[in-house]
Amino acid sequence: MLGVCAAVAAVVVVRELPERLADAEPHTSRPQEVQSVALEGRDLPVAALRSVLVTHTGDLLDSTKLTTDRTALEAALVSSGYLAAKVQSAQVLFDAAGGAYVTFALTPGSLFHVREVTVTGAQASETGIMTIGRGDVVRSDRLEQARDALTTRLASRGKPEHVSVRLVSDARTSTADIVLDASN
């Protein structure tokens, strides 16, 4: 048994490394196999954006997945407060073996902040303390939290339990007015 292990070890050691990089064996990939997915842009929440991608290294290139990725990247930026975000369609380059290198160009634009919060369909005495206010970043989780808090407060007072959220954004000032509507 020991002799077999020594022979296997000898085979591993015998392989010589090339003297020049040009003599190295090329990395082989299947045609249309994704080699990398790059996000191009400045000041991006890269970890959050990568988490929404459905295209990954090693996958076969799929135009439907790339379209889904573009939409998901844009939605992730918008939900993070970049209401004017734009994501270009994927650019794909191929190497000599057919491997695909995917790049998404992202333009997040300005981070939007709350200018004003208005509640309609309820009296001020029924609304309680608002969980979002002037100057806060317009993030979807914060809007949902404010909607849920108002819904709970109104329900405890026997009022209708449906509150909708409407945004009126101003790209010129990178601000948004929030309307919480409880009039349903």
Residue 24 has a pLDDT of 43
Exposure letters 110-125 (e unless 16+ CB within 10 A, then b): ebbebbebebebbeee
Residue 11 has pLDDT above 60, yes or no: no
How remote is the C-alpha of 9 from its chain's centroid? 46
Give SS3 for 45: coil
How far is the C-alpha of 47 from the C-alpha of 22, rounded, in Å?
A: 35
What digits encode the pLDDT tens for the residues 100-159?
A: 999 999 999 999 999 999 999 888 888 877 889 999 999 999 999 999 999 998 988 888
Choose among 78, 79, 83, 85: nearest CA to 108.
Answer: 85
Choose among 55, 111, 104: nearest CA to 79.
Answer: 111
Question: Per CATH, which fold does 28-107 belong to?
Answer: Ubiquitin-like (UB roll) (3.10.20)
What kind of architecture, by CATH, is found in domain 113-181? Answer: Roll (3.10)
Who contacts 16 (Cβ-Cβ below 8 Å, separation ≥6)? none
Residue 184 has a pLDDT of 66
What digits encode the pLDDT tens for the residues 25-53?
A: 455 567 899 999 999 998 889 999 999 99
Tell me which residue has tokens 């844009």.
74
**HSE-up (13 A, CA, CB side) for residue 77:** 24
Measure the CA dihedral 129/151/85/49, to 10°. Answer: 100
Residue 21 has pLDDT above 50, yes or no: no
Residue 5 has a pLDDT of 40
For 52-75, the DSSP string reads: T----TTSBP-HHHHHHHHHHHHH
What digits encode the pLDDT tens for the residues 83-105?
A: 999 999 999 999 999 999 999 99
Residue intervals of the chain classified under CATH 3.10.20.310 are 28-107
